[in-house]
Amino acid sequence: MARLVRLIDRLTGLVGQGGAWLVVPLFGVMTWEVVARFCFNLPTFWAYELAYMMTGAHFVLGIALVLRRGQHIRIDFLHAGFPPRLKAALDAVVYVCFLLPVVSWMTWRLVEVALRAYLEGEVSGESAWNPVIWPLRTVLAVGFALFGLQIFAETCKCVGVLLFPRREPES
């Protein structure tokens, strides 16, 4: 099981870093739009769509890495003072009872939506560019699937802390 958790952690790290790099082309697109709009009075019709697609991909591809690093939002002033086994027990309950069911359901629905968008050739309808939307919908589904895998990995780490109290969880 530890090998599977390490594999999920490694995959989360790679995908999260790839998602982080989306900021670079996003910066380029937004810079181009600002220069074209304000310097040449020639706004683009594609920059907005490309920007929201890259921003959405950036966030969803990084959400699992945020969970792995423990940088997500929680009530830290309570959680930080708890002993490690209590933290692990509370985290495991939250992961299994709340996060995993919701993220699993969302992943299932996002896969359905992405498949339907591909089969129907759905387009954005936001601008004259009107690109197909299934690549973005697929990235959203993949990001949530990876988030679900990371929730599973974090749950395994919590169970490890509960079963082997002297061992610290892997970071």
> 51, 26 in Cβ contact below 8 A?
yes
Q: Is 95 exposed, middle or buried (0-12, 13-18, 19+ CB in 10 A)?
A: buried
Whole-model pTM?
A: 0.89
Q: Mean pLDDT, to the nearest integer, of 32-40?
A: 95
- pLDDT over threshold 90, residue 166: no
Amino acid at 68: R
Q: What pLDDT digit, counting tens, does each position of 11-26 carry?
A: 999 999 999 999 999 9
pLDDT at residue 75 in the model: 73
Mean pLDDT of the chain: 93
Residue 86 has pLDDT above 90, yes or no: yes
pLDDT number for residue 74:
74
Return the domain boundaries, the chain: 2-163
Amino acid, res. 139: V
Cα 165 from chain centre: 30
Q: Residues 60, 19: contact at Cβ < 8 Å?
A: yes
Alpha helices by DSSP H, listed for 70-133, are 76-79, 84-94, 100-120
∠ CA 75-164-73, rounded to 5°: 15
**pLDDT tens, residue by residue, 68-83:** 998 887 777 777 888 9
3-state secondary structure at position 40: coil
Q: How many CB atoms lie within 10 A of CB 149?
A: 20
Residue 72's pLDDT is what?
81
